[in-house]
Amino acid sequence: MAHTVALCRPEVVCAYPISPQTHIIEALGALVKTGELSPCEFINVESEFAAMSVAIGASAAGARAFTATSSQGLLFMMEAVYNAGGLGLPIVMTLANRAIGAPINIWNDHSDAMAARDAGWVQLFAETNQEAADLHILAFRLAEELSLPVMVCMDGFILTHASERVDLPTPEQVDAYLPPFEPRQLLDPDDPVSIGAMVGPEAFEEVRFIAHTRHLQALVRIEELSEEFAETFGRDSGGLLHRYRTVDADTVVVALGSVLGTIKDLVDTLREGGMRIGVLGITSFRPFPSDAVRAALEKARRVVVVEKAFSVGFGGVLSTDLAMSLTGLTVPVATVVAGLGGRPITKTSLQSVFESADRGELGQLTFLDLNHDLVARELQRIVQYPRSGPSAENILRGLGTPAGTG
Amino acid sequence: MAVRFYQVGSFAVGNRLVDGTDRTVQSDPGRSNSLTSGHRACQGCGEALGARYALDAAMRATAGRMVAVNATGCLEVFSTPYPETSWQIAWLHSLFGNAPAVATGVAAALRVKGRNDVRVVGQAGDGGTVDIGFGCLSGMFERNDDVLFICYDNQAYMNTGVQRSGATPPAARTATTEAVGPEPGNPFGQGKNMPALAMAHEIPYVATATVADLHDLEAKIERAMTFHGARYLHILVPCPLGWGSAACDTVRIARLATQTGLFPVFEAEHGEVVRVTKIRRPAPVTEYLRLQGRFAHLFDGSGQPVRPDIVAALQDLADRTVRRYGLVDDVEGGF
């Protein structure tokens, strides 16, 4: 990942460690220190809030800026994340997707990305390591062309810590695809401007609407840039979404990120058994490709959304967007919350869910592999004892497993 | 030299009385007017005055090769009500708590672009410096990033309506430390000594100044610009609104802050104090306190202390600062 980012010639890289993103910035730090990546300023900051703030300053002063974070780190920098979005600064950030505490958990899910959903950033989800690498190149191009920040989301550990061979493009290829950064707004004593003025009710809505139109432009450009990417690098990466065996599918599963690989394998198996099932991977979560999603799903008889995040007190997050995109159609959308805090999403568990969906028996909201007995015991304890204690610890005790070894 | 140019109520040197080369940047019609007229600051605003002096001096020291990063706060709000701006320099506002880090990013970008002639100034009020921005500021200091950071200290959150900050002095009334109860106003024994904290980072240059001594303030900006690396200038800027003082008393109160010893004016290099501005006409703290509504609960209508214990504690604080920084050559006479 670091080598791909280095090929994009970032000029300022700010780094604050958080698992599972750390090795990416470590490797970039080494590349800067050896001079392989030059000119580049590598800045060890004191927090993620500072990391994004340094990136904001660097980008506003005309440098190509990159940082990476995860989970709590994203939340800690959130005020600056929104600020970069609002200012329209083309910063690229890798988000190594990880659960958000409490309870503290370093493993993968998509809670962090969903928390930043409305920050004005483009959010691209990688299915594989190859795509994660490729999306960074596309991200810099898209960001700088539209003056928008872009987050490349890749599943923590599942992708970030997977060792597999990926094709790295040549510097010449990347240079041909990604021209030098020409900032739309620049902090420059030769042409002094004020950036970041206060905007009142008389113009705030218009400024926000401009941000929305840029996202709508991004919907078009992501497709075009992905096509150009394929021509330049000879690989299909990116795009708004990936369709797999959806054309004649009754059941279409929708998901983000690396779990798509598992689902595709399962789709192949289930197809052999005669089930008409396909899968739709959303690469561009923001901007959300409503029209493309609708076109891909309008012939389906049912949609099952497998998501690694949920809105407590409501249900699915991606599902909500899908339901909105399918307004007016009768296709039912079922949500399967899965893989929270790094719980493995197995083909066996998914298969029973998809079979249930195929029979028309899947409920609107399902928590995959939820230990109902364990939950019931804790709920009972809460009723029984006024001071029942912290639920997370009680549940772990009930499981008889020290944290992190289950 | 200054003593010979004694003026009523001050030891400041009027520009007309000195050689052309010694006159202030601010007296020069060719100054950059970094923060130009038409902004929305209150009458008598010490921050507007301080920012104007500081930035014009910085613009001269850098021959106009400078960009500024601003934290959220009064200075940002009154200078840039969209679509207007009072800034005639390249200026960036991001957030309340991140100005030092944004400045770091700007400095890094300028370095990587080979624009080493362009200098970076970060600026914030006391809230953006000692409280919400402290983490980013400390990080900028310890990395010794090439930024001059200026704190315009008016000793509370004035933009939001005068709430206590970590720079609010003891006994001062704010909206969150009301002048009620047995210990009215801000408690004793709290607050941050930000210049000392900056010095603890052993950065190349730390200085304090007030809006009462324009020559001194400008000289410190100029001095700061001779260094590279992290530099910190802490400017006391009275706030008529928050301090409950007359708009015409801003400079007078700033001067009294130094003459009482409550606000020491000094310079430090690499963690060591190298110069202090001696108090030439010592004044008791009551002279300073009586001019300000935020200390009104300490006095009765005729100006006599109703809480002599608190006034004495403040005097003790001033005396200790005088001793610590050696602000008076001979303190035996007392006040």
CA angle B305, B310, B311 (to 5 degrees): 50
Do both A359 and A377 map to the same domain?
Answer: no
CB B165 within 8 A of CB B242: no
Instruction: Please name the member of A53, A189, A191 whose beta carbon is closest to the beta carbon of B65.
Output: A189
Residue B85 forms contact with A (CB below 8 Å): yes
Q: How far apart are CA A392 and CA A382, in angstroms?
A: 12
Q: What's the confidence (pLDDT) of residue B334?
A: 45
B212 interface with A at CB cutoff 8 Å: no
Q: Using the structure block, give the residue that is written with the tokens 């190859």.
A: A130
* Spatial strand order in the sheet of A92-97: A41-44, A12-15, A65-69, A92-97, A150-155, A122-125, A284-286
The answer to whether residue B144 neighbours chain A at the CB level (below 8 Å) is: no
* Alpha carbon of B21: minimum distance to chain A alpha carbons (Å): 26
Regarding whether A249 and A117 lie in a shared domain, the answer is: no
What pLDDT sits at residue A402?
60
State pLDDT tens for residues A56-82: 999 999 999 999 999 999 999 999 999
Q: What are the domain boundaries of chain B?
A: 2-325
Question: B305 by DSSP, 3-state: which?
Answer: strand
Do A87 and A152 belong together in one domain? yes
> For residue B113, which residues of chain A lie inside 8 Å, CB to CB?
11, 61-63
Q: Could A188 and B135 be called an inter-chain contact, meaning their C-beta atoms sit closer than 8 Å?
A: no
For chain A, the average pLDDT equals 96
**Is the peptide bond preceding residue A103 cis, with omega within 30 degrees of 0?**
yes
Q: End-to-end CA distance of chain B, in Å?
A: 25
Q: Is the pLDDT of residue B9 over 80?
A: no
Residue-wise pLDDT for A108-122, tens only, equals: 999 999 999 999 999
Residue type for A294, please?
A: R
CATH of the domain at A289: 3.40.50.920
Residue whose token pair is 């539209």: A146
Rg, Å, chain A Cα set: 22
Q: Are residues A174 and A30 in the same domain?
A: yes
Residues of B in contact with A53 (CB under 8 A): 94-95, 98, 101-102, 104-105, 136
- Domain final position from A200, A233, A266: A233
Chain B nearest-CA distance from A179, in A, is 16
Task: For residue B102, give the nearest of A46, A53, A192 by CB distance.
Answer: A53
Q: Do A47 and B111 touch (CB under 8 A)?
A: no
The confidence band for A404, taking pLDDT boundaries of 50, 70 and 90, is: low
Residue A164 pLDDT level (bands cut at 50, 70, 90): confident
Say yes or no: A66 and A165 in one domain: yes
pLDDT tens-digit readout, B306-325: 999 999 999 999 999 999 99
Query: Domain check: are A330 and A389 in the same one?
Result: no
Q: Is the pLDDT of residue A405 over 70?
A: no
**Taking CB atoms and an 8 Å cutoff, what residues of chain A touch B76?**
196, 198
In this predicted structure, what is the pLDDT of residue A353? Answer: 98
**B81/A49 Cβ within 8 A:** no
* CA A60 – CA B93 distance, rounded (Å): 10
Residues A273 and A171 in one domain: no
Give the end of a domain, one of A189, A216, A233. A233
- Report the distance separating Cα A2 and Cα A26, nearest Å: 8
Out of B70, B90, B101, closest to residue A50 by CB: B101
**Chain A contact for B66 (CB, 8 A cutoff):** yes
Nearest by CB to residue A192, choosing from B90, B113, B142, is B90
Contacts of A334 (CB under 8 A, 6+ apart): A302, A303, A304, A305, A357, A362, A363, A364, A365, A366
> Could you give the number of structural domains in chain A?
3
In sequence order, what DSSP letters do the residues of A93-160 get, joined into one string?
EEEEE---PSSP--S--SHHHHHTTTSS-EEEE-SSHHHHHHHHHHHHHHHHHHT--EEEEEETTTTT
Left, alpha or beta for B9 (phi > 0: left; psi -120 to 50: alpha)? left
Shared domain check, A381 and A318: no
Q: Does domain B2-325 have CATH number 3.10.180.10?
A: no
Q: CA–CA separation, A348 vs A341, rounded Å?
A: 19
Residues of B within 8 A of A203 (CB-CB) are: 82-83
User: How far apart are alpha carbons B70 and B99 in whole angstroms?
Assistant: 6
User: How many angstroms separate the CA atoms of A187 and A199, rounded?
Assistant: 19
Chain B environment of A65 (Cβ under 8 Å): 105, 109
What are residue A213's phi and psi, to 5 degrees? -65, -35
The domain that holds A152 is classified in CATH as 3.40.50.970
Cβ contact, residue pair B108, A63, below 8 Å: yes
Chain B: nearest CA to A37, how far in angstroms?
Answer: 12
- Alpha helices (H) along chain B: 46-61, 74-79, 99-112, 126, 134-142, 194-200, 214-224, 240-243, 250-259, 285-289, 308-325
Per-residue pLDDT of A251-295, as tens digits, reads 999 999 999 999 999 999 999 999 999 999 999 999 999 999 999
Identify residues of A whose CB sits under 8 angstroms from chain B CBs.
11-12, 14, 39-41, 43-47, 49-50, 53-63, 65, 79-80, 83, 87, 187-189, 191-200, 203
Q: Do A61 and B101 touch (CB under 8 A)?
A: no
**Percent of chain A beyond pLDDT 90?**
96
Per-residue pLDDT, averaged over B133-142, amounts to 98
Q: Which residue range forms the structural domain that includes residue A137?
A: 2-233
Helix (H, G, I), strand (E, B) or coil at A307: strand
Q: What is the pLDDT of residues B112-124, one digit of tens each?
A: 999 999 999 999 9
CB-based contact B104 A79, cutoff 8 Å:
no
User: Residue A188: its chain B contacts at CB < 8 A?
Assistant: 67, 90
Find the radius of gyration of the CA atoms of chain B: 19
Q: How far is A45 from chain B (nearest CA, A)?
A: 7
pLDDT given at position B335: 45
Give A-chain residues touching B88 at CB under 8 angstroms: 192
Based on the domain organization, do A225 and A271 belong to the same domain? no
Contact across the interface for A45 and B101, Cβ inside 8 Å: yes
Residue B332 has pLDDT above 90, yes or no: no
Note whether B136 contacts A53, CB cutoff 8 Å: yes
B92 with A14: Cβ contact below 8 A: no
The alpha carbon of residue A369 is apart from the nearest alpha carbon of chain B, in Å, by 42
Q: Under an 8 A CB cutoff, do B109 and A58 touch?
A: yes
Q: Is the pLDDT reported for residue B6 higher than 90?
A: no
Longest Cα–Cα distance of chain A, Å, equals 71
Same domain? For A136 and A261 the reply is no
Contact across the interface for B93 and A12, Cβ inside 8 Å: no
| pLDDT tens by residue, B19-35 | 888 899 999 999 999 99
Summarize pLDDT for B34-60 with one digit per residue, the tens: 999 999 999 999 999 999 999 999 999
Structural element, H or E, at residue A251: strand A251-255
Beta-carbon count within 10 A of B16 CB: 8
Query: What is the three-class DSSP state of B120?
Result: strand
pLDDT of the residue at A406: 45
**Pair (A220, A114) in one structural domain:** yes
- Residue B10: is its pLDDT beyond 90? no
pLDDT, mean over chain B: 94
Same domain? For A399 and A293 the reply is no
Name the band, by pLDDT with cuts 50, 70 and 90, for residue B11: low
Q: How confident is the model at residue A403, as a pLDDT? A: 55
